[in-house]
Amino acid sequence: MSSRTIDESEIETPVYDPIPQYPPPPKKLKPARKQVKPGDVNKTETVQTGKEYNIWYNKWAGGDREDSYSNKVKSQTRCNVRKDSGLTRADMTGMKYCCLFFARGCCPYGWECEYRHVLPDIVNTLPDTSKDCFARDKFSDYRDDMGGVGSFNRQNRTLYIGRIKETGTGPETEEVVVRHFREWGTIERIRVLQYRSVAFVTYVSELSAQFAKEAMACQSLDNDEILNVRWATEDPNPTQKVLEKRRLQELGKEAIQARMDPRIVDAMRMVRALEDGVILDEEGNLPEDQDEEGENGPTSKRRRLEIEKGPSLVPAEPPASNGILNTDALESLRYFAEIRKKNGSAPPVQKRAQPPPTGLGLGGYGSDEDD
């Protein structure tokens, strides 16, 4: 049974109704408060279950899996955006990255912190795209358990949320997940897998997803569970792959247009208009009659400039060339020949260079022969 290939032009971009962030962050920031005091958080070391400690996965090699409940402890702190957001030293030094401990709700420095105590700015891009919003270096690939910082080879805006305790129907569980995860940014779409205790949350910005992943790690919703928050794997649906590719292309186009000088754009438009013979108005745009009429209509969409009557230097239909030179090269030679003929100057005649003498060059000397 042959599979039908999907035509990208046939796929329509869906229009999602985004879920706005709530509660909104404070408009007027005050100096950030200290979320915890020294000694409030009891840090416990990981119980040794193996012989070697893997610093990549932050676990003992050969021990319990990370999915096991025995290795997960509920977080003692949680960030409150309304109360904890504020000004820090980063607002004076120009630091653009957020505080990791602020996202986890356990920063003891407050306004003395060197990082920002606000949600990431989704409008302005970060100085280095190879780092996340907490200034941690990304890697070329994801970890096997899809945890950690993430990869710089793919823009991931979707989080995997596991271990959800479902006490109601699917819409009720979705309402609970939305209420807790909309605190960290605007949600584009959400999908709950009922009876599997799993949900997928897709944010509008990747920065919001990075912040939410750290803020909701080992947190609970409404039923005192311990959430398992990771990066979602790539959607195998071909339609979603096409939509994601189209979205990235639009973002790249907008970024290029934002960085280009509008004067250069206007100059390029004028040059193309002169090449095509299009008449532009005073503002450099196409006239209304050319915008409304089609190319086959009574008034052409691109009206050509009429060439003055007289001897034409370039023929309208260049003959095809089967020789070494192509048609454009032959037309250029004819064009310059007509210019020289019009100016009355004959083309310069190149003298053929004499071939260099062969042999040893001893013809001027005497020889043994009589002749």
Residue 169, pLDDT above cutoff 60? yes
Confidence of residue 80 (pLDDT cuts 50, 70, 90): very high
Residue 6, pLDDT above cutoff 80? no
Query: According to the model, what pLDDT value does residue 331 have?
Result: 81
Query: According to the model, what pLDDT value does residue 229 have?
Result: 96
Kindly give, in sequence order, each residue whose CB lies less than 8 Å from that of residue 99, ignoring residues fewer than 6 positions away. 88, 107, 113, 115, 116, 117, 134
Q: Please check whether residue 89 lies inside any domain of the structure.
A: no
Closest CA to 217 of 281, 267, 153, 149: 149
Kindly give, in sequence order, each residue whose CB lies less than 8 Å from that of residue 197, ignoring residues fewer than 6 positions away. 162, 163, 164, 165, 166
Pairing type for strands 158-162 and 198-203 reads: antiparallel
Q: Please check whether residue 108 lies inside any domain of the structure.
A: no
Question: Which of the listed residues 203, 233, 263 is the one where a domain comes to its end?
Answer: 233
Residue 261 sits in the same domain as residue 163: no
Percentage of the chain lying above the pLDDT 90 cut: 39
Residue 201 sits in the same domain as residue 254: no
Query: According to the model, what pLDDT value does residue 209 have?
Result: 97
Question: Which of the listed residues 198, 233, 268 is the one where a domain comes to its end?
Answer: 233
Residue 144 sits in the same domain as residue 228: yes
Q: How far apart are CA 68 and CA 89, in angstroms?
A: 40
Between 106 and 250, whose confidence is greater?
A: 106
Residue 298, pLDDT above cutoff 70? no
Confidence of residue 296 (pLDDT cuts 50, 70, 90): very low
Query: According to the model, what pLDDT value does residue 63 have?
Result: 55
3-state secondary structure 122-152: CCCCCCCCCECCCCCECECCCCCCCCCCCEC
Residue 3, pLDDT above cutoff 60? no
Q: Is 117 helix (H, G, I), strand (E, B) or coil?
A: strand
Between 285 and 108, whose confidence is greater?
A: 108
Q: Please check whether residue 21 lies inside any domain of the structure.
A: no
Query: According to the model, what pLDDT value does residue 366 have?
Result: 52
Query: According to the model, what pLDDT value does residue 308 have?
Result: 44
Between 286 and 219, whose confidence is greater?
A: 219
Q: How far apart are CA 33 and CA 310, in angstroms?
A: 83
Percentage of the chain lying above the pLDDT 70 cut: 72
Query: According to the model, what pLDDT value does residue 285 have?
Result: 67
Query: According to the model, what pLDDT value does residue 13 have?
Result: 75
Residue 171 sits in the same domain as residue 200: yes
Query: According to the model, what pLDDT value does residue 341 have?
Result: 79
Between 131 and 9, whose confidence is greater?
A: 131
- Residue the block writes with tokens 């957001």: 85
With the CA atoms of 240, 207, 41 and 179 taken in that order, what torsion angle do they form, in degrees rounded to the nearest 10?
-60
Q: Is 6 helix (H, G, I), strand (E, B) or coil?
A: coil
Q: How far apart are CA 93 and CA 77, in angstroms?
A: 28
Q: Please check whether residue 169 lies inside any domain of the structure.
A: yes
Kindly give, in sequence order, each residue whose CB lies less than 8 Å from that of residue 227, ignoring residues fewer than 6 positions away. 161, 162, 163, 164, 216, 217, 218, 219, 220, 221
274-284 pLDDT, tens digit each: 777 777 666 66
With vertex at residue 221, the alpha carbon angle to CA 217 and CA 223, rounded to the nearest 5 degrees, is 125
Q: Please check whether residue 205 lies inside any domain of the structure.
A: yes
Query: According to the model, what pLDDT value does residue 89 have?
Result: 96
Q: Please check whether residue 29 lies inside any domain of the structure.
A: no
Q: Please check whether residue 294 lies inside any domain of the structure.
A: no
Q: How far apart are CA 101 and CA 124, in angstroms?
A: 22
Query: According to the model, what pLDDT value does residue 348 have?
Result: 57
The token duo for 100 is: 């990791």
Query: According to the model, what pLDDT value does residue 307 have?
Result: 43
Residue 136 sits in the same domain as residue 194: yes
Residue 133 sits in the same domain as residue 213: yes
Residue 131 sits in the same domain as residue 228: yes
Kind plus residue range of the DSSP H or E element containing 54: strand 52-54
Judge if pTM exceeds 0.85. Answer: no
CATH number at residue 129: 3.30.70.330
- Are the C-beta atoms of 219 and 79 separated by less than 8 Å? no
Closest CA to 134 of 101, 167, 157, 160: 101
Q: How far apart are CA 325 and CA 322, in angstroms?
A: 8
Range 154-170 average pLDDT: 93
Residue 315, pLDDT above cutoff 70? no
Range 4-31 average pLDDT: 81
**What's the domain count of the chain?**
2
38-75 pLDDT, tens digit each: 778 877 666 666 778 877 767 777 655 544 545 678 89
Residue 265 sits in the same domain as residue 182: no
Question: Which of the listed residues 276, 293, 327 is the one where a domain comes to its end?
Answer: 276
Closest CA to 144 of 225, 59, 211: 59
Closest CA to 204 of 180, 234, 184: 184
Q: How far apart are CA 82 and CA 75, in angstroms?
A: 20
Confidence of residue 305 (pLDDT cuts 50, 70, 90): very low
Residue 137, pLDDT above cutoff 50? yes
Q: How far apart are CA 349 and CA 347, in angstroms?
A: 6
Range 268-295 average pLDDT: 66
Residue 130 sits in the same domain as residue 193: yes
249-270 pLDDT, tens digit each: 887 888 787 778 888 877 887 7
Residue 166 sits in the same domain as residue 245: no
Q: How far apart are CA 64 and CA 48, in angstroms?
A: 10
The token duo for 269 is: 């438009």
Domain limits for position 177: 120-233
Q: Is 114 helix (H, G, I), strand (E, B) or coil?
A: coil
Between 94 and 241, whose confidence is greater?
A: 94
Residue 299, pLDDT above cutoff 60? no
Closest CA to 248 of 206, 187, 278: 206
Q: How far apart are CA 192 and CA 164, in angstroms?
A: 10
Residue 243 sits in the same domain as residue 266: yes
Residue 361, pLDDT above cutoff 60? no
Between 120 and 331, whose confidence is greater?
A: 120
Residue 289, pLDDT above cutoff 60? no
Residue 165, pLDDT above cutoff 70? yes
Q: How far apart are CA 237 and CA 245, in angstroms?
A: 13
Q: Please check whether residue 284 lies inside any domain of the structure.
A: no
Residue 251 sits in the same domain as residue 229: no
